[in-house]
Amino acid sequence: MRRKVILAAVVVAMLSLVLSACGGSSNGGGDTSNFKQIQQQRAGEYVVAVLNETGQLKQGPNKFVLEFRSASDNKLTDVGNVQLNALMPMPGMSPMSGGASAAPSGTPGRYSVESDFQMVGTWGFTIKFGNGQQAKFALRAQ
Amino acid residing at 106: G
Amino acid residing at 44: G
Where do the DSSP E strands lie in the chain?
36-43, 46-52, 60-70, 82-88, 96-104, 110-117, 121-129, 133-141
Whether 46 maps to a domain, the answer reads: yes
Name the pTM for this structure: 0.76
90: domain CATH number is 2.60.40.10
Low-confidence ranges of the chain (pLDDT < 50): 4-28
pLDDT tens by residue, 93-112: 999 999 899 999 999 999 99
Whether 10 maps to a domain, the answer reads: no
How high is the pLDDT of residue 60? 94
Domain that holds residue 87: 26-141
Q: How many domains does the chain have?
A: 1
Q: How many CB atoms neighbour CB 73 within 10 A?
A: 7
Exposed, middle or buried: residue 129 (CB in 10 Å: 0-12, 13-18, 19+)? buried
pLDDT tens by residue, 75-90: 999 999 999 999 999 9
How high is the pLDDT of residue 32? 72
Tell which residue, 55, 67, 72, has the closest CA to residue 31: 67
How high is the pLDDT of residue 1? 55
